[in-house]
Amino acid sequence: MVVLAMAVSPLVAQTRVELSDNDYTPAEDVELGREAAAEVEQQLPLLRDDEVTAYLRGVGRHLVGGIPDRLEHPGFQYSFTVVNVRDLNAFALPGGPTYINRGMIEAARTEGELAGVMAHEISHVALRHGTAQASRATPFALGALAGAVAGALIGGDVGSIVSQGTQFGLGTWFLSFSREFEREADILGAQIMARTGYDPREAAGMFETLERANGGGGLEFLSSHPDPGNRSERIIEEARLLGVQDGTTDTAAFRRIKARLADMPEAPTTAQVTEN
Ligand SMILES: [Zn+2]
């Protein structure tokens, strides 16, 4: 009896995250993401290494399997691409294209920390936060939205280049996710980690790693994904509600990928690749 109660209670206790109001259709998310991804891939150098790519895709596909059924949308295709720059950043476009900077993989101490950032990004996509946030802003035609949404999700110099690169060039009218959406992505991310066998507390570890790296401020990731307040504490609390005792932290595959990256020539900064 006791064992049964312990096995059932986490499902009852986890926080339920709902979709927000959204003026756009899931098909429009897909279209926006596709247009923005084409622009991103023109502007940023991708890491073309089969082993690193296969590893990242494997972790990504595994995490996508943890998205609750009710948050699956027709046409969404999650893809995972390594950008060969050393800044600590990651971003996901509506409909699923997800980009992880090489610097983020290098900064992660464990596979669980890397999975924490990826689960957070996947959660923004599944919750359709890019278009939900756009729905709260001035309405623009879909074409105009593509650049602006992508620019805002990516942030900083690359974000403004991408938003100018689309035909409307409106720039960004929102610069970061709301605290409410950050909280939701943190919580759903923790749930996805737990469902796929990771320890969600690793996500809290990654955010702490990012905060440390942000010492003097200016880290793109944290300006696009602001701390909604007590971020680590809330993630650890969700892990407790989920009844997580342990889970995957580090793996041999992750250590191999880190060693492989360390053997490559150092990646440039985003500023270097977006000059002139
Ligand atoms: Zn976020």
**Phi/psi of residue 97, nearest 5 degrees:** -65, 120
Ligand 1 centroid to residue 176 C-alpha, Å: 8
Q: Residue 143 in 3-state DSSP? A: helix
| Predicted confidence (pLDDT) at residue 216 exceeds the cutoff of 80 | no
Which span out of 139-143, 252-256, 269-273 was modeled with the highest average pLDDT?
Answer: 252-256
Pairing of strands 90-92, 97-101: antiparallel
Q: What is the pLDDT of residue 167?
A: 36
pLDDT at 158: 63
Q: Which residues fall within 8 angstroms of residue 13, CB to CB, at 6 or more apart?
A: 241, 242, 243
Token pair 């059932």 in the structure block, residue = 8
pLDDT value at position 59?
98
pLDDT tens figures, 11-21: 557 899 999 99
Cα 181 to middle of ligand 1, angstroms: 7
Question: Does residue 164 carry a pLDDT above 80?
Answer: no
> Cα of 5 to ligand 1 centre, how many Å?
34
pLDDT tops 50 at residue 50: yes
Identify the weakest region by mean pLDDT among 68-82, 100-114, 237-251. Answer: 237-251
Helix axes 201-213, 111-126, angle to 10 degrees: 100
pLDDT digits (tens, 9 = 90+) for 51-67: 999 999 999 999 999 99
Distance 93 CA to ligand 1 centre (A): 12
User: Mean pLDDT, to the nearest integer, of 30-38?
Assistant: 88
- Å from CA of 253 to ligand 1 middle: 26
Q: Retrieve residue 34's tokens.
A: 């596709």
Distance between start and end Cα atoms, the chain: 67
In this structure, what are the phi and psi dihedrals at residue 83, rounded to the nearest 5 degrees?
-95, 130
Residue 32 confidence (pLDDT) above 90: no
Q: Please tell me the predicted confidence (pLDDT) of residue 13.
A: 77
Flag whether pLDDT at 150 surpasses 70. Answer: no
Q: Taking residues 245-272, report their average pLDDT.
A: 94
Give residue 130's pLDDT.
Answer: 87
| Ion ligand 1: protein residues whose beta carbon lies under 5 Å | 177, 182, 185, 225
- pTM reported for the whole predicted model: 0.88
Those residues with Cβ within 8 angstroms of residue 68's Cβ, 6 or more apart along the chain or in another chain: 191
The b-or-e profile of 44-73 (16+ CB within 10 A means b, else e) is bbebebeebeebbeebbebbbebbeeebeb
CB 196 within 8 A of CB 63: yes
In the block, which residue shows the tokens 């620019």? 151
The pLDDT of residue 172 is 40
Average pLDDT, the chain: 85
> From the centroid of its chain, how far is CA 78?
11
